[in-house]
Amino acid sequence: MVYRGKPSSACAWCRSRRLKCDRKRPSCSSCLRAKRTCTGYRDVVALSFADQTNEVIGKARRRLAKPAVDSSPYSTSTSMSTFSTTSLILDPSTVTDDQAQPGPLTLHHVPPPIKDDGVAFVLTHLVGKGPSYDAHLYFLPALLEVDSSPAVMASVNAAGLATLANIQRCPRLMLEARRQYTTALSQTNVALNDQARATTDSTLAAVLLLGIYEIITCDGSELMARWEHHIDGAMRMVELRGTEQLQTQIGLGLFMQLRSQFALSNIYRKKPTHPLLLELSRDAPERRGQPNNCTEQLFAYLTQASDLCARISHGSHGGPTEIIREALKLEADLIAWALNVDSGWQYSVVNTAPDSTTDSPFRPIYGDYYHVYSEVNSVVIWNTYRLTRLVVHEIIGAVSERMCQISKESAQYQTVIQRSVEVSRQLAEDICASVPFVFRHSGIIGPGLRQASGGMFRLHWALFVAADCLGSTPQMQEWILNCLDQIGYNSGIRQALSMSHLLRKGGHLEWLTRDFRRLEVPPEESGANSSDISIQ
C-alpha cells in the first residue's frame, strides 16, 4: 500500500485545464460556463492509498534480472531476492551489527524497498488493526487522510525507511532515513513555532513518530536518552492541548498511545506520574464508550507502580515496612485484575515437549508451553500486567534484602525474598511464552497474524525486564537475549539490540537496589515481625 499524497477532488475538466473547481452540485461552475457535462468529483479518501504490492514486486524482479548493479541510492550489495519472500533470522552468536547470516525462522514478509517506501512500510507492518486503542499507531491512516503535513509525512517516512535499512543492512537506505529525520525535525520545529499548528494532531503525531525513530535507531549505551527527549516534548504538548484533545478519535488515539509510553518511561526513570495524565485518563474511558475497560484499571496500577518507585528513589516513603505493605496491596490488586479480566482478552496455554534435537541456533519456545492469544493487542495488555508485577516484586525483594542486613528478622525476610523470586520466575516464563505468538512461528501455532510487527515495540521491553528480574535464571536470560537479538535484526528495532548488549556485558536494570543501599530502618521497625508482610 502506497500513500499518494493529497489528491485533487476536482472534476476531470477542471483538472485537465488546471482550473479551480468549486465542486458544486450537480455541476461545477466551470462546466456550466463551458456548457459541458460535468463528470463529477473524485473520492479523495479512496485515492489517497493504493495497493501496489504487485507493482513493487515486479519492479524488484526486473531490477534483479539486470546483470548491472542498480545505481539507485537504495541499492545494496545484499541479494534482494532473500527479502522478496521472508526476512532474515540470524544466529546472535555469529552476527555483528553490520553482518548477518540467514536462519530458519520467519517473522514476517517484507517486500523489497523502493524510494519513498517508508510510509507504505509503516502503514502495512507497524500499524495495528482493530477497535482497540492500545493497537500500535492505529490512528495513523485516519490522520494522514485529513492532515498529511510535511512534518508528519517526513517522520513516518523516516521511521519506515530506518526500519527497512536495519532489516536490509543497507547504509544508503539509512542515509535517506536520516535525511527524512532531519526534514521531520525541521518541519516539526517550524510547526511548533506557529501558534496555529503547534498543538495540532499532526504535529503531536510527528513528535511521537520521531520518538519511535529513536527506538528504531537506538545505538550504544543511550538506551532511552534521545527517546526521552521526544517523550518529554510530547508531554508538554499534551499539557497545551488539554481536554480538547480527547474530543476526536484521532486525538484520543494519540493520547492513548502516548500515555503508555509516558508510564513506561516513568518507571524506568523513577519519575512520578504527571497529574494531567491522570486527569485525562479519567476522562478518556467515557470518550471511548468503555468506562469499565480492563485496560484503564491496568494503566492505573502501572502508574501506582511508577509513583512508588519515584517515592522510593527520592526518599519520600514512609519506611521499609510501609513500602512492602503498599507493594503487597498493589500485588493483590493486580492478581484480582487478572482473575476478572474481560473474556475477550483471555489466552490459552499449549503444552509442548521440549525439543533438544533442533538444529536452529534459536528455538522460539522457552520451556514446555506457549500462549495463544486472540490478537497482538492482548499480548501487549498481558505483558504490561506481568511487567508491572515484576516491578512490584523487585521493590519487595530490594526492601527485604536490605532488611535482612539491618533487621533482627532476617530469616523471615529471606522467606519473603524467596517467594518473590518464585513469583517473578513464573511471570518471566509467561512473558517468554508470549513470544511465539508475536513471532508467528507458523510451524508451531499456525499462520498467525499479518500485523505482528507493531507488537514488537512493547514485547522487547517486557523481555528486557524479565531477563534481569529476581527469578531469572542463566538459561532464561540467554534465551531472552537471543529473542532480543531476533527482534533487533529481523524487526529493525535496534533498541532491542542495545538491551541485549547491555545485559551481555554484565549490565543490570537495578530498578531499586541502589536506592536501598542507604536505606535506614527506624528503631521501632528494627525488631518488627515480618509475618504481616509475607506473600501468600
Q: What is the pLDDT of residues 293-319, one digit of tens each?
A: 788 889 999 999 999 988 888 877 778
State residue 237's pLDDT score. 92
- pTM here is 0.74
The 3-state DSSP composition of the chain as helix, strand, coil percent (nearest 5) reads 60, 5, 35
For residues 397 and 470, the answer to whether their CB atoms sit within 8 Å is: yes
State residue 476's pLDDT score. 94
Question: With b meaning 16 or more CB within 10 Å and e meaning fewer, what string describes 222-239?
Answer: ebbebbbebbebbbebbe
pLDDT of 535 higher than 90:
no
Q: What is the mean pLDDT of residues 36-42?
A: 74
pLDDT of 29 higher than 90:
no
User: 3-state SS of 470-490?
Assistant: CCCCHHHHHHHHHHHHHHHHH
Within 10 angstroms of residue 22's Cβ, the number of other Cβ atoms is 11
For residues 134 and 144, the answer to whether their CB atoms sit within 8 Å is: no
Residues making up the chain, counted from first to last? 536
Residue 83's pLDDT band (cuts 50, 70, 90): very low
DSSP secondary structure code for residue 148 in this structure: -
For residues 246 and 283, the answer to whether their CB atoms sit within 8 Å is: yes
289: left (phi over 0), alpha (psi -120 to 50) or beta: left
pLDDT of 330 higher than 50:
yes
344: left (phi over 0), alpha (psi -120 to 50) or beta: alpha
Give the angle 174-3-251 at the CA atoms, nearest 5°: 95
Beta-bridge partners for 99: 96
pLDDT of 528 higher than 60:
no
Whole-number Å distance between alpha carbons of 451 and 128: 6
Q: Residue 203: which of 212, 214, 192 has the closest Cα?
A: 192
Highest mean pLDDT among 342-351, 436-445, 526-535: 342-351
DSSP secondary structure code for residue 93 in this structure: T
For residues 340 and 298, the answer to whether their CB atoms sit within 8 Å is: no
State residue 361's pLDDT score. 60
pLDDT of 3 higher than 80:
no
For residues 409 and 528, the answer to whether their CB atoms sit within 8 Å is: yes
Q: What is the mean pLDDT of residues 469-485?
A: 93
pLDDT of 109 higher than 80:
no
Give the angle 238-243-245 at the CA atoms, nearest 5°: 60
Question: With b meaning 16 or more CB within 10 Å and e meaning fewer, what string describes 443-476?
Answer: ebbeebbebbbbbbbbbbbbbbbbbbbbbbeeeb
Q: What is the mean pLDDT of residues 404-420?
A: 83
pLDDT of 195 higher than 80:
yes
DSSP secondary structure code for residue 126 in this structure: I
State residue 427's pLDDT score. 97
User: Mean pLDDT across the chain, nearest whole number?
Assistant: 76
pLDDT of 456 higher than 60:
yes
Percent of the chain past pLDDT 70, that is, above it, reads: 71
| Digit-coded pLDDT (tens) for 250-287 | 998 899 888 888 988 888 888 899 998 888 888 877 66
Whole-number Å distance between alpha carbons of 434 and 437: 6
Q: Cell 531476533 belongs to which residue? A: 486
| Digit-coded pLDDT (tens) for 340-357 | 988 888 899 999 876 655
| Digit-coded pLDDT (tens) for 345-395 | 889 999 987 665 555 566 778 988 999 998 888 888 999 999 999 999 999
